[in-house]
Amino acid sequence: MAILKVTDLHARYSAKGPEILKGISFEVEDNDFFAIIGPSGAGKSTLIRCINRLVEPTSGSIIFDNRDVTRLRRKDLRRLRRDIGMIFQEFNLINRMSVMDNVLSGRLGYTSDIRTLFRAFPRSDIEHALELLERVGLSDHVDKRADELSGGQRQRVGIARALMQNPKLMLLDEPTSALDPKISREVMELIKQMAQELKVPCLCNIHDVKLAQEFCNKIIGLQDGVTMFSGATELMDEAKLGEIYAMEVL
């Protein structure tokens, strides 16, 4: 069964502005590692932000886990968001806080404002955080400030933070664009490994087509807000790639 079903999604940032997404439809199944590829400006980031409504879509439907995402009210929207982990291109960590606090911030959706004020996370959360930090190889950096870490290490913190939510879906917004090729591969491997182990489907924006073909089982190709390709990775060939990136020099 599909955990996420997007149908005819349209989005624009302002009433008079250009339409960024022009009717996108796709489905993410339970075991998918789903890639969204396309040249910059194609609408990849907008599409992925519509799923957890960091960007409000103008029309179309998004069904996640039997919930109609576009109709959720504020409180239910927060409940939805805590079921969806997100990893960012620029990591988006809180630089002045420790690695531990950054990972724990993944639990904020489950934490009351009063508890937040005193940073009073339950013991189970701290144990969970320590375990995840061990899994991403940061056990020695628990008390360090996030801005003391290297790029690859920061993204590992980002991965641990997203997994802290016990997500039912992960959104990856260009998780490797800010990293060098070697680290990029390591980070993708880590994400894929954790996702398979925890059985979390992933929806991943990715600029690097080679990485997409290597790690993802399905691909949707966008160009200027329109779907140019959609299907299993094996069906993707040079001709179709050329079409998607027609406006950009590869």
C-alpha 217/C-alpha 32 separation (Å) is 6
Helix (H, G, I), strand (E, B) or coil at 218: strand
Closest distance of CB 68 from another protein, Å: 18
100 counts as binding another protein under rule CB under 8 A: no
Closest distance of CB 150 from another protein, Å: 17
161 counts as binding another protein under rule CB under 8 A: yes
C-alpha 206/C-alpha 204 separation (Å) is 6
**67: its two tokens:** 């919930």
Sheet strand arrangement including 2-12: 19-29, 2-12, 59-64, 67-68
Q: Which region among 62-70, 111-119, 207-215, 217-225 touches another protein (by CB under 8 A)? A: 111-119
Give the contacts of 214 (CB within 8 A, at least 6 positions apart).
188
C-alpha 85/C-alpha 70 separation (Å) is 18
**102: its two tokens:** 């950054």
> x/- string (CB under 8 A) for another protein, residues 117-156?
x---------------------------------------
72 counts as binding another protein under rule CB under 8 A: no
111 counts as binding another protein under rule CB under 8 A: yes
Specify the residue, 88 or 215, whose C-beta has the smaller distance to another protein.
88
C-alpha 107/C-alpha 51 separation (Å) is 19
Q: Which region among 57-65, 105-113, 180-188, 237-245 touches another protein (by CB under 8 A)? A: 105-113
> x/- string (CB under 8 A) for another protein, residues 166-195?
-----x------------------------
Backbone angles phi, psi at 201, to 5 degrees: -70, 150
Closest distance of CB 26 from another protein, Å: 20
Residue ranges in 35-54 that form contacts with another protein under rule CB under 8 A: 52, 54
